[in-house]
Amino acid sequence: MIDKDRPSSWVPFRASLCRGCNADCCAMLLEVTIGDLVRLGVCSQDEAQGSHKKLFKRLRREKIAMSYREGTGLFMLQSKSNGDCQFLNSTTRLCTVYEKRPDVCRKFPSIGPRPTYCPASRQRA
Ligand code: SF4
């Protein structure tokens, strides 16, 4: 049985798996770059060029980001209480910011916990 938290249970990715899937790949922790935050429209170019620590404080206050790692410059986005990405539509299981989605989402599953494998569970009833 496929378990999104157990990559050893994932299956080799093929595009047809995406049709009707539960978007479990959108229910994993999501780290994004400052460029992703600008594209998503949650920070301005000016903020991006300023202090990232200060920016993180605002993003945390607004429940957009939950952590920031200075070493990598990556921001961990805040998830919904059920673990879904904040940009995932809970009913349709579709991304609401698809055209502006972070690079890591564009590259999945080429990168991720188990490259080229997918947690392809079916859509919830
Ligand atoms: S931004 Fe979109 S594609 Fe990326 S995890 Fe969130 S819902 Fe999924």
The per-residue pLDDT for range 35-88, each reduced to its tens digit, is 999 999 999 999 999 999 999 999 999 999 999 999 999 999 999 999 999 999
Give dist(CA 55, CA 65) in Å, integer: 10
Domain contains 125: no
Which is the closest atom of ligand 1 to the Cα of 77? 6
Distance 79 CA to ligand 1 centre (A): 11
In tens, the pLDDT along 3-31 reads 889 999 999 999 999 888 899 999 999 99
Q: Is the pLDDT of residue 123 over 80?
A: no
Write down the pTM of the prediction.
0.92
CA-based end-to-end distance of the chain:
17
Domain contains 122: no
Torsion angles phi and psi, residue 45, rounded to 5: -60, -40
Are 13 and 111 in contact by the 8 Å Cβ rule? The answer is: no
Q: How many domains does the chain have?
A: 1
What is the domain range of residue 77? 26-113
In tens, the pLDDT along 90-103 reads 999 999 999 999 99
